[in-house]
Amino acid sequence: MDTDNRPEVVLGVGAGIAAYKVCELLRRFTETGHSVQVVPTADALRFVGEPTWAALSGRPVATGVWDSVHEVPHVRIGRRAGLVLVAPATADLLAKAAGGLADDLLTNTLLTARCPILFAPAMHTEMWEHAATRANVAALRSRGAVVLEPAVGRLTGADTGPGRLPEPEAIFAAAGRVLARGDLPADLTGRHVLVTAGGTREPLDPVRYLGNRSSGRQGYALAATALARGARVSLISANVALPDPAGAEVTRVGSTRELRDAALARSGAADAVVMAAAVADFRPAETAVGKIKKTGEGPAPIELLENPDILLELAAGRSRPDQVVVGFAAETDNVLENGRAKLERKGCDLLVVNQVGEGRAFGTEDNQAVVLGADGSAVEIPNGPKEGLADRVWDLVGQRLRDAGGVPRASGT
């Protein structure tokens, strides 16, 4: 593997029980060819010892500002890094970073780094929800740091709630998106975006449903790239079997009406709403209580009702004039003609139009589209990874947010 162009990663380890999970995160970086400098706090070594970090990274562990003083480690380490990732980022570490304190090697490194900085918090729910922590998170985000939302789940002891360290694979994926942006700014910092993903299902009976082939990959790519660009992301996931993007606030839904309720409840606080989910247009008028059986006389007709038009409703009822609303249109023929008609009918700012069919869009790793704008613009996005299409969509959304002059409203909450 050619690792010459792989940026160096500084892995800061905080003093939390979740430090043991970071060993797996370190392994993922080294196996993909990254040189990793581990910088644990003194108390972090109470959870995972120095020999473990040295063995996994293949290099000495940097532990103190007085070690190898002639090399000026408190300045050198931060300067040469391509990414500083802190995991677990404890409440204490977040407070020190927000306050600009520099009482150990890791906090010195955070002050001297000129590369992207990514925090993966982990702490008890009460600490995460405390006003002081929320203010510290908001301050760090306002300066361009990417602070992931912690996962919800089992914590130390019998406690459960928000504050769990996201899984290593999810943090690694988030770090990869930040690294892919290189020196590009986190241009969605301070923005709150709402993304829908997947495909809704309308039950016919307890075992059957009307649905579609959407895997949710494009919506999840939109969520992941927005996180890497500094946004706070609310993700509404409809029947998706993918790992949650680290840092997103995920709400799971099944049917179109459930998705509508969740979107309306969350859209008011969002600077941008991106409706990437494939929403069922119709639902059965009645859902059978038991499994529908064969009778030998052919299936009985199924009466369908129209589902609510969520995109139309969100565009018409947007919470403020500078909110950007983006729709997706999957078409099988007359792609641009149908797309332009839908854009006008829905009243959204942008419509991402792509052709679907066998081997196209649904369930694939790649996608291509034309993004139509209410201002008459049309931007063609060639076939490529769905993350690339997602980044291009956020470019267009970000430009409209800046043109509208709206003040970012996302904070640490």
Tens-digit pLDDT profile for residues 332-386 = 788 888 999 999 999 999 999 987 655 555 657 788 899 999 999 999 999 899 9
Identify the residue with better confidence: 66 or 2.
Answer: 66
Is residue 2's pLDDT more than 50?
A: no
Is residue 201's pLDDT more than 90?
A: yes
Q: Which residues are catalytic?
A: 212
Where does the pLDDT of residue 406 fall: very low under 50, low under 70, confident under 90, or very high at 90 and above? low
3-state secondary structure of 251: strand
Which residues, other chains included, contact 67 with Cβ-Cβ below 8 Å and sequence gap of 6+? Answer: 73
Domains of the chain in start order, with CATH, are 9-181 (3.40.50.1950), 192-404 (3.40.50.10300)
Where does the pLDDT of residue 65 fall: very low under 50, low under 70, confident under 90, or very high at 90 and above? low
Report pLDDT for 358. 57
Is residue 409's pLDDT more than 90?
A: no
Which residues, other chains included, contact 130 with Cβ-Cβ below 8 Å and sequence gap of 6+? Answer: 91
Query: What's the half-sphere exposure (Cβ side, CA atoms, 13 Å) at 72?
Result: 6
Element (H, E) at 316: helix 310-316
Percentage with pLDDT > 90 across the chain: 73
Report pLDDT for 371. 96
How confident is the model over 188-215, as a mean pLDDT? Answer: 93
The DSSP result for 357-386, as a single string, is BTTBSTT-SEEEEEEEETTS-EEEEEEEEH
Tokens of 210: 């009307």
Q: Indicate the DSSP class of residue 271.
A: S
Where does the pLDDT of residue 304 fall: very low under 50, low under 70, confident under 90, or very high at 90 and above? very high
Report pLDDT for 164. 93
Is residue 199's pLDDT more than 50?
A: yes
Identify the residue with better confidence: 3 or 154.
Answer: 154
Nearest of 277, 231, 229 to residue 251 by alpha carbon: 277
Report pLDDT for 19. 96
94-116 pLDDT per residue, tens: 999 999 999 999 999 999 999 99
Between the CA of residue 251 and those of 163, 238, 262, 263, 348, what are the distances in Å? 17, 9, 8, 10, 23
How confident is the model over 169-182, as a mean pLDDT? Answer: 91
Tokens of 194: 């709402």
Report pLDDT for 105. 93
Report pLDDT for 228. 92
3-state DSSP helix/strand/coil % of the chain, to nearest 5: 35, 25, 40
Return the minimum-mean-pLDDT range out of 43-52, 145-154, 320-329, 351-360. Answer: 351-360
Tell me the pLDDT of the chain averaged across its residues. Answer: 90
Report pLDDT for 79. 82
